[in-house]
Amino acid sequence: MSASNSIALEARDLTRIYGRGSEEVRALDGVSLQIRKGEFVSFMGPSGSGKTTLVNLLGCLENPTSGELDLAGRRIFGNGEVVGERDLTRIRREIFGYIFQNFYLIPTLTVRENVALPLAFYRKPGVEGEVEALLKQLGLEHRMNHLPGQISGGEMQRVAIARALVNRPEILLADEPTGNLDTTRTGEIGEILQQLNRSTGLTILMVTHNPDLGRLGGRHIEMRDGRACEA
């Protein structure tokens, strides 16, 4: 019982096939893995190996072609039916925060408003004061009334991280979070993620091409041709 409690997610035989014209692309080819709460997992591998496809499935951004996914012991995919967009949204806002290579900040809203944006749609109980706390924690206090166009790329990604965390997710999904940043900024973001993982026990699944960044995770998964192998 206590063992299953500490499992954040478990995937069995996850497969995703994309149709491209008449041919099929097996983007993900039967991946099984188990991730415990509080783990910092990095996914690496060549381009097109299925990293994004995998984390998107784990993050409930889309349905797999086949296979099963359990989140905190609860079956999400694999019941033999496609999970609808509304149900996926409900799962996502309870469990996940997402950051991407592009920051997708709303250019007309200030840093502070961007961080608070998710609360306009959904507010987990007990997240009062979270915006301020995150701004402070991520060193954005002096920038909070700036617009995204007025801050640096590293700061933008920090805003995106704060925005992803404002509803206190259990799992942060980061797909190439430093893909648009230089080495210094990359190190900065890496440190922040590591710190979040250590201090709050946040589970992090991060896709990266950067070996230095990949090394930060406590666990490495190498992707190749839609299959995963533990390094």
Residues that bind other proteins (CB under 8 A): 52, 56, 61-62, 85-86, 89, 92-93, 96, 98, 100, 102, 104, 106-109, 113, 116-122, 131, 163, 167, 175
Are 206 and 193 in contact, with CB atoms under 8 Å apart? Answer: yes
Integer Cα distance of 68 and 74 in angstroms: 11
Return the number of the residue (49 or 110) whose C-beta is nearest ligand ATP. Answer: 49
Give the one entry of Mg ion, other proteins, ligand ATP, none that residue 36 binds, where binding means its C-beta sits below a cut-off of 5 to 8 angstroms depending on kind: none
Return the number of the residue (160 or 166) whose C-beta is nearest ligand ATP. Answer: 160
Output the smallest distance, CB 72 to other proteins, in A.
17
Output the smallest distance, CB 198 to other proteins, in A.
25
Output the smallest distance, CB 139 to ligand ATP, in A.
29
Dihedral angle at the C-alpha atoms of 145, 148, 151, 152, nearest 10 degrees?
Answer: 150
Strand order, beta sheet including 66-71: 23-36, 7-20, 66-71, 74-77
What is the CA 57 to chain-centroid distance, rounded?
Answer: 11
Which stretches of the chain bind ligand ATP, using CB under 6 A?
Answer: 18, 20, 25, 27, 45, 47-53
Could you say whether residue 197 binds Mg ion (CB under 5 A)? no
What three-state secondary structure class fits 102? coil
Give the one entry of other proteins, ligand ATP, Mg ion, none that residue 89 binds, where binding means its C-beta sits below a cut-off of 5 to 8 angstroms depending on kind: other proteins
C-alpha distances in Å from residue 109, one per residue of 114, 119, 127, 145, 154:
6, 14, 21, 9, 18
Could you say whether residue 178 binds Mg ion (CB under 5 A)? no
**For Mg ion, which residue of 52, 157, 186, 197 counts as binding (CB under 5 A)?**
52
What three-state secondary structure class fits 7? strand
Could you say whether residue 203 binds Mg ion (CB under 5 A)? no
Integer Cα distance of 109 and 101 in angstroms: 20
State the residues that interact with Mg ion by CB under 5 A: 52
